[in-house]
Amino acid sequence: IVLRISRRAQALLYFLALEKKTHSRTYLASLFWPDLSDQHARKNLRNIVPELRTLLGDYFIIESDSISLKADGSYWLDVDEVRQTFEPSLHLLELQNVPPSAKTISTEKVLRGAKLYTGEFLLGFFIPDAPFYEEWVATHREYHHHLVVSKLSAFAMQAFEQDEHKLAATITRHLIRIDPLNEAGHRLQMRLLALDGQRSYALAYYERIKQQLFKELEVEPDLETQTLAQEIRDGHLPSQ
């Protein structure tokens, strides 16, 4: 579906869909037009409401002083599924004195969550003169990125420690796609290559990381990454 609606109408839709609660017209008007008087801001809000009513029909609930989306679970958001996948794991992976089997999240669910995360939250979407809305976007963007990166890192290491090297490599590739300069992920890929008998490829991989870090950040790899590369050169297969 192509959204043939204004940018602020799109922004309002994204906000209501993710927040999943009713908001007053006054609050929404100040969110999108903070520099205007309340009267003018509410008038602008009234002007974009018909766009969403036409697009969404009965899913768009308009009251005299509030606006919301129907909260009956009849629409799907990729953001919701990513959170449902990784937020429970945040608790499970940190539990102490619990057997590993009790911490298991299905491989299929982890990989699906990773595939759904195709980029940062609303990356490239911007509306001018709405700093409070942009702050809301930035908060969610940072939260979801950290959530996915931290949990994929944990799942990849868990798979590695359980000698599921193929799964560890798959998860790590997703991690690096999402966070290309994640050295912990790159180190795990180097370990996996070395343990698979591909020492020369692991060292070539290290050289690419080194060049990428210098190009993007003008820094050298972490000492831990440099040490790992030297161990591989010396023929010491890193098991951890």
DSSP 8-state class, residue 103: G
Position 233 scores a pLDDT of 94
Q: Roughly how many angstroms between the first and final C-alpha of the chain, as a whole number?
A: 47
Position 99 scores a pLDDT of 44
Beta bridge partners of 69: 60
Q: What is the pLDDT along the chain (240 residues), one digit of tens a residue?
A: 455 799 999 999 999 999 999 999 999 999 999 999 999 999 999 999 999 999 999 999 999 999 999 987 778 899 999 999 998 765 444 444 444 443 456 889 999 999 999 999 999 999 999 999 999 999 999 999 999 999 999 999 999 999 999 999 999 999 999 999 999 999 999 999 999 999 999 999 999 999 999 999 999 999 999 999 999 999 887 665
pTM, whole model, 2 decimals? Answer: 0.86
Q: Tokens 């899913």 — which residue?
A: 59
Spell out the residues 6+ positions from residue 98 whose beta carbon is closer than 8 angstroms to its own.
Answer: 92
CA dist 205 to 130, 189, 191, 229, Å?
43, 9, 11, 10
DSSP 8-state class, residue 62: E
- CA 126, CA 177: separation in Å to the nearest integer? 23
Q: Which long-range contacts (CB under 8 A, 24 or more apart) does 62-70 make?
A: 63/22, 65/24, 65/25, 65/26, 66/22, 66/23, 66/24, 66/25, 67/12, 67/16, 67/22, 67/23, 67/25, 67/28, 68/16, 68/21, 68/22, 68/23, 69/13, 69/16, 69/17, 69/20
Q: Tokens 């018909």 — which residue?
A: 50
Beta bridge partners of 37: none
Q: Which two tokens stand for residue 68?
A: 């919301």
- CA 190, CA 198: separation in Å to the nearest integer? 9
